[in-house]
């Protein structure tokens, strides 16, 4: 079987974490990505659910506080029924 090179860019901290986890289970990060790629092809897409992360209560409250502050000063006026 011939091989091909795939170059990807990712956050340096994420790469370090991938390398560490792969090593902890006896793989290289290259081998881990090959496993992922094979599963991606076999499932014809992601082999797991891909969803937007749900914010914590603290994150949600902070975002709502920021929106309220902007609205109270007239800097924010978006509504679901009004297009930007």
Higher pLDDT pick, 72 / 32: 32
Higher pLDDT pick, 26 / 84: 26
| Confidence band, pLDDT 50/70/90 cuts, at residue 75 | confident
Instruction: Give the whole-angstrom CA distance, residue 17 versus residue 83.
Output: 41
pLDDT of residue 55: 86
Query: Which H or E element spans position 61?
Result: helix 57-72
Domain boundaries of the chain, sorted by first residue: 12-43
pLDDT tens, residue by residue, 48-65? 998 888 889 999 999 889
pLDDT tens, residue by residue, 3-41? 999 999 999 999 999 999 999 999 999 999 999 999 999
Residues ≥6 apart with Cβ < 8 Å to 51: none
């Amino acid at each position: 079987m011939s091989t091909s090179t795939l170059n990807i860019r990712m956050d340096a901290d994420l790469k370090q974490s991938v390398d560490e986890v792969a090593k902890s289970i006896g793989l290289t990060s290259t081998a881990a990505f090959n496993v992922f790629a094979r599963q991606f092809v076999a499932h014809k897409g992601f082999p797991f659910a891909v969803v937007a992360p749900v914010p914590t209560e603290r994150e949600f409250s902070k975002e709502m506080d920021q929106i309220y502050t902007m609205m109270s000063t007239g800097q924010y006026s978006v509504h679901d029924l009004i297009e930007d």
